């Protein structure tokens, strides 16, 4: 009796499925893709780098003949294909059970071409989860191969091949051999570079807040913040304005004018989809996107659970749909009622809406069985597998639990024309929070973030209560630049802008790191000098390709191809023509870094002429613009950035010309605008006299390790220096003769002033601040 052949991607998945199908089925693994576009240079066509000559790699796509791809068997897969052919020859039917997404469809399509089996004997089966019920149902109701889904994957593959294989040689010529560019990765790089540029050019703005420390007849004491003056929102720009308002507040009684109490519910977040799983695993577990997906793949394909054998613990992990199957809803609701009690179960299930582009045939990422809680499988999982499974379990369970309930109180307090406000909340019922506590980022994403919703208990107050003013606390603040992307926020940005799909987020983030275009510093992405150069060149020459809206529209076109509403060849034709026009222009107009270099704003220490960032055989370096007359070169750190344009100032050079602010190795400095004719330079004063010599002024500098400090402009004659910014305020301590104080910071009070000699804190007179 002939068997039925079932082909999946991985041996682990094969073991799990084999356990449920029994002896009538032969379950084999393809071990991933078996065919692809040529990945190695074809020397017969003169591709690759031969004897030092840079030549373009083989495209593998006939752009003149309907974009026909020339697929090849992936080197090393010949034996696997031979084995699968033999198994298919013995089988009556072949079921291709690769993953239920575009990549899985492409694997299935290529397998069908290689197995030499009549098409009426080849079927497609889709498993969203590897449970006995799901597997047997899918085998009982097989499908045919989905040509539209395959064409969507094929279009993406060809687009990426055209962009990567035709842009890369251009970068070899203009910058450095071996560089590469990608359609989606280049847009992700641009996002990081743009964000870093916004951080670098951000100018902090000073502002102040005023908080009143108050007491009622009954405890506890509390603080209220000034929000209005004469019915208008208060915006306090400086210390003098703050002092006027403090004086006005002290002259009036503090009277409660309004007390509002309300009940507020906070709903749970939806179960995980691919992007939110990667974001939350990054925040809570410190796992990279690629590592998260590898672990999730293991949990999906099956874990050996002792006598139970291999068991798939979660549903398919590449999904953008929050949909939950009916049986899973029933199971999780029963679990909540049984484990946490009826009060934690809402009357009706919680339903979550996906984005327009979400593939609703898929489900959210959830446990496959509510009979396998984390503690029951902990002995069979490693540390990271257990952590991720627990995260998925708790998020899914909490998504169907009752909302958390809070009692919120908002109190308005008037002092003359000034209005102070305080809000507080007390949790009345923990609801889903008993199962899964949310991060601030999750609350913001779910619309649950609320400035009023702070865990603060207030005394019982009523209209007309006169309060006791214990203190008025003016505090200085500065606006903050936008935060640098971390892996979680970058993936969210890509998702929000429609760039890429669930299967590509982790790969995109990993690729730009491997190429040394960005690096992680304190878990934040920073563009390297190479990344800035590449992004700048591509944006200048291919503005449309790196436009986020264009990239998002291209992703939408792939969705339309999958739905059968758009021709894949028409989509490629519409992209290829304009891209080729931009490519030909770029070949002529793109800046040649090898030849021309990039100005740094620094003079050559040997001849005084400008230094340039150049590209050579071993990467970027700094070299003199007078080469070959002057052969000065210097290594540069990968993370250093090209110099910013000089900033004009009112300062005048000794030669009579104006001075500008330039960026140097140790930070910003003043330089003559006529440089290199005039090479006069001096540090930038912050307008505070040096307390040691009395003639020099304090200037901001940067140490060799990149840390900011302040020292006298007369250095080395005067060696006075501070790590914190000095302020021209005399120390109020009568026993101290210091003419300056320094700005310091604590999490409790923000910025405050401290004496560098006696350590007296100016805040001590108004508040109990901690250093």
Catalytic residues: 316
- Nearest CA among 441, 288, 308 for reference residue 371: 308
Report the alpha-carbon angle 483-486-489, nearest 5.
80
Q: HEC string of 21-43?
A: HCCCEEEEECCCCCEECCCCCCH
Going from the C-alpha of 186 to that of each of 83, 182, 404, 527, the distances in angstroms are: 40, 5, 42, 12
- Nearest CA among 409, 427, 410, 322 for reference residue 366: 322
HSE value, Cβ hemisphere, 13 Å, CA-based, for 753: 20
Beta carbons within 8 Å of 383's beta carbon, 6+ residues apart: none
Report the alpha-carbon angle 145-151-154, nearest 5.
120
Residue that the structure tokens 């023509």 belong to: 577
Q: Which two tokens stand for residue 550?
A: 């264009």
Sheet holding 697-702, edge to edge: 685-689, 697-702, 708-712, 721-722
Distance CA(717)–CA(339), nearest Å, equals 74
- Helices 326-340 + 383-399 axis angle, to 10: 90
Distance CA(764)–CA(742), nearest Å, equals 14
Q: Which two tokens stand for residue 42?
A: 């074809």
Q: Which two tokens stand for residue 226?
A: 């000034």
Contact (CB, 8 A) for 643 and 532 = no
Neighbours of 616 (CB within 10 A): 11
Beta carbons within 8 Å of 677's beta carbon, 6+ residues apart: none
Distance CA(328)–CA(651), nearest Å, equals 71
Q: Which two tokens stand for residue 452?
A: 């009023």
Contact (CB, 8 A) for 552 and 191 = no
User: Residue 725 has what DSSP assignment?
Assistant: P
Distance of CA 197 to the CA centre of its chain: 16
Neighbours of 212 (CB within 10 A): 24
673 three-class SS:
coil
Q: Which two tokens stand for residue 756?
A: 């560098």
Distance CA(140)–CA(332), nearest Å, equals 27
Q: What's the longest Cα–Cα distance across the chain?
A: 103
Distance CA(654)–CA(122), nearest Å, equals 85
Q: Which two tokens stand for residue 456?
A: 């603060």
Distance CA(716)–CA(726), nearest Å, equals 19
- Give exposure, 509-538, as e/b (b: 16+ Cβ within 10 Å): bbbbbebebbeeeeebbbbbbbbbbbbbbb
Distance CA(532)–CA(189), nearest Å, equals 9
Look at the alpha carbons of 342, 348, 353, 358 in this order and tell me if their dihedral is positive or negative: positive
């Amino acid at each position: 009796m002939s068997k039925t052949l079932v082909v999946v991607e991985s041996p682990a998945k094969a073991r799990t499925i084999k356990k449920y199908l029994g002896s009538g089925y032969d379950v084999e693994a393809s071990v991933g893709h078996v065919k692809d576009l040529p990945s190695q240079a074809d020397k017969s066509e003169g591709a690759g780098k031969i004897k030092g000559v840079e030549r373009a790699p083989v495209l593998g796509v006939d752009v003149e003949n309907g974009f026909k791809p020339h697929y090849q068997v992936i080197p090393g897969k010949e034996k696997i294909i031979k084995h699968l052919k033999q198994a298919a020859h013995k089988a009556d039917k072949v079921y291709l059970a690769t993953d239920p997404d575009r990549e899985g469809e492409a694997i299935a399509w290529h397998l069908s071409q290689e197995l030499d089996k009549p098409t009426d004997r080849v079927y497609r089966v889709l498993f969203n989860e590897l449970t006995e019920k799901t597997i047997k149902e899918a085998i009982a109701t097989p499908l045919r191969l989905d040509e539209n889904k395959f064409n969507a994957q094929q279009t993406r593959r060809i687009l990426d091949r055209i962009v990567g294989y035709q842009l890369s040689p251009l970068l070899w010529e203009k910058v450095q051999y071996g560089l590469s560019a990608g359609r989606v990765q280049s847009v992700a790089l641009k996002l990081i570079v743009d964000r870093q540029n916004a951080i670098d050019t951000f100018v902090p703005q000073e502002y102040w807040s005023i908080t009143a420390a108050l007491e009622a007849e009954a405890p506890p004491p509390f603080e209220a913040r000034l929000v209005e003056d004469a019915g208008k929102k208060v915006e306090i720009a400086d210390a003098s304005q703050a002092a006027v308002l403090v004086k006005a507040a002290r002259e009036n009684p503090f009277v409660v004018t309004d007390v509002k109490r309300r009940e507020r519910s906070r709903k749970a977040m939806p179960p995980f989809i691919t992007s939110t799983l990667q974001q939350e695993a990054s925040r809570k577990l410190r796992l990279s996107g690629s590592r998260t997906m590898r672990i999730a793949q293991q949990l999906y394909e099956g874990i050996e659970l002792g006598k139970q054998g291999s068991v798939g613990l979660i549903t398919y992990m590449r999904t953008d749909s929050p949909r939950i199957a009916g049986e899973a809803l029933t199971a999780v609701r029963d679990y909540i009622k049984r484990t946490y009690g009826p009060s934690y179960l809402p009357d009706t299930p919680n339903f979550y809406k996906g984005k327009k582009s979400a593939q609703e045939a898929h489900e959210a990422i959830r446990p496959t069985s509510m009979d396998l809680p984390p503690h029951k499988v902990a002995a069979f999982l490693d540390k990271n597998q257990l952590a991720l499974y627990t995260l998925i379990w708790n998020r899914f369970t909490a998504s169907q639990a009752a909302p958390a309930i809070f009692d919120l109180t908002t109190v308005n307090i008037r002092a003359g024309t000034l209005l102070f406000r305080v809000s507080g909340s007390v949790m009345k019922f923990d609801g889903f929070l008993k199962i899964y506590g949310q991060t601030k980022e999750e609350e913001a994403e779910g619309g649950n973030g609320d400035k009023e919703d702070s865990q603060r208990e207030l005394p019982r107050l009523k209209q007309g209560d006169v309060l006791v003013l214990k203190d008025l606390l003016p505090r200085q603040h500065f606006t903050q630049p936008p935060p640098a992307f971390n892996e979680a926020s970058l993936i969210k940005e890509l998702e929000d802008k429609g760039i890429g799909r669930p299967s590509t987020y982790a790969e995109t983030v990993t690729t730009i790191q491997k190429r040394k275009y960005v690096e992680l510093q304190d878990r934040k992405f920073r563009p390297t000098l190479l990344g800035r150069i590449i992004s700048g060149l591509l944006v200048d020459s291919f503005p449309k390709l790196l436009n986020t809206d264009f990239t998002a529209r291209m992703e939408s076109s792939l969705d339309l191809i999958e739905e059968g509403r758009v021709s894949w060849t028409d989509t490629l034709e519409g992209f290829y023509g304009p891209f080729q026009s931009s490519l030909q222009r770029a070949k002529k107009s793109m800046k040649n870094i090898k030849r021309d270099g990039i100005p740094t704003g620094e003079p050559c220490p040997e001849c005084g002429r400008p230094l340039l960032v150049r590209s050579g055989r071993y990467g970027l370096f700094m070299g003199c613009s007078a080469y070959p007359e002057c052969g000065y070169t210097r290594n540069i750190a990968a993370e250093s950035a090209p110099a910013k344009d000089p900033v004009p100032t009112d300062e005048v050079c000794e030669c009579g010309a104006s001075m500008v602010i330039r960026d140097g190795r140790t930070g910003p400095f003043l330089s003559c605008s006529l440089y290199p004719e005039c090479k006069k330079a001096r540090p930038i004063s912050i307008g505070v006299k040096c307390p040691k010599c009395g003639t020099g002024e304090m200037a901001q500098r940067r140490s060799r390790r990149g840390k900011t400090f302040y020292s006298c402009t007369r250095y080395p004659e005067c060696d006075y220096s501070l790590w914190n910014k000095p302020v021209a305020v005399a120390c109020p301590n009568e026993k101290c003769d210091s003419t300056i104080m320094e700005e310091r910071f604590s999490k409790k009070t923000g910025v405050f002033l401290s004496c560098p000699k006696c350590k007296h804190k100016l805040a001590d007179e108004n508040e109990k601040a901690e250093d």
